[in-house]
Amino acid sequence: MIRTAVSLGGDCDTLTCIAGSIAEAYYGVSEELMMGCENRLPLDMLDILLMFHGERRADLLKASIATFSQNRTTDKVMEILWYLKSSLLWVPCNAVLSERDQKAIEEMALAHEDDLDSLKGTSQQFMDEVRLIPDILISNDEYFFPAFTSPEDMGDYGNSFSKVQKHIMEIISLARNNEKDVRGIVINAFGESFVLEKELYSIIEDANKENLNDNA
């Protein structure tokens, strides 16, 4: 279809763009072809593309981390940082209720203690704001702030937590200001992972400041 559109002549660039959009909707696009096109785009154009496809950025970040596991070079670190700078990641959080909301739930449970199954599927309106406290992982007596490219990447660990999607800049702020001395942010801790050491936070922050200045 694309070759036919190009061969028609005339305003073939416009015709080919239209034909390509129709072809994608009809035939789909393979992962190999998609990656090939993305690899040919300059970074500024790829950044715009990924603004409209946040899940695609997460996929590329995950793939980049997997490659880094086999090829630990400075170039791969910079590639991961580039994907991270605009990423939305999932953070596991503990839901903390106020005392009166906690008391209300306990009273409801006591009122139905003979038939707790009857509470399944029901909703509870809380009187106060529910606080979501990010979980912190410990490894060799060091603290790490966990973040994941998708809820599925948390595995069974994620079943115990509420999951909140946050921009990497907010995650950096939470990690930096955590009451524990967090060594860094670990991406996908239970698979092929990458630790964003706190010394690297400033690279992502500076990149986002440059974007803001460019858009001002």
- Domains defined along the chain, listed by start: 42-97+133-215 (3.40.1350.90)
Distance CA 58, CA 86 (A): 10
Name 215's Cβ contacts closer than 8 Å, sequence gap at least 6.
Answer: none
Residue 66 has pLDDT above 90, yes or no: yes
Q: What are phi and psi of 153, to 5 degrees?
A: -70, -10
Q: In what order do the strands lie in the sheet with 131-134?
A: 131-134, 88-96, 162-167
The number of residues in the chain equals 216
Residue 215 has pLDDT above 60, yes or no: no
- Tokens 């860094």 belong to residue: 184
Is this structure's pTM higher than 0.85? no
Residue predicted with more confidence, 32 or 201? 201
Antiparallel, parallel or unpaired: β 142-147 and 182-187: parallel
71-128 pLDDT tens trace: 899 999 998 998 888 888 999 999 887 888 778 777 777 877 777 677 666 666 777 7
Distance CA 139, CA 181 (A): 13
Is residue 156 a contact partner of residue 166, using CB atoms and an 8 Å limit? no
How many helices (H) and strands (E) the chain has is answered by 9, 7
Distance CA 158, CA 48 (A): 31
* Per-position DSSP letters for 48-111, written without gaps between them: HHHHS-HHHHHHHHHHHHHHHHH---HHHHHHHHHHHTT-EEEEEEEEE--HHHHHHHHHHHHH
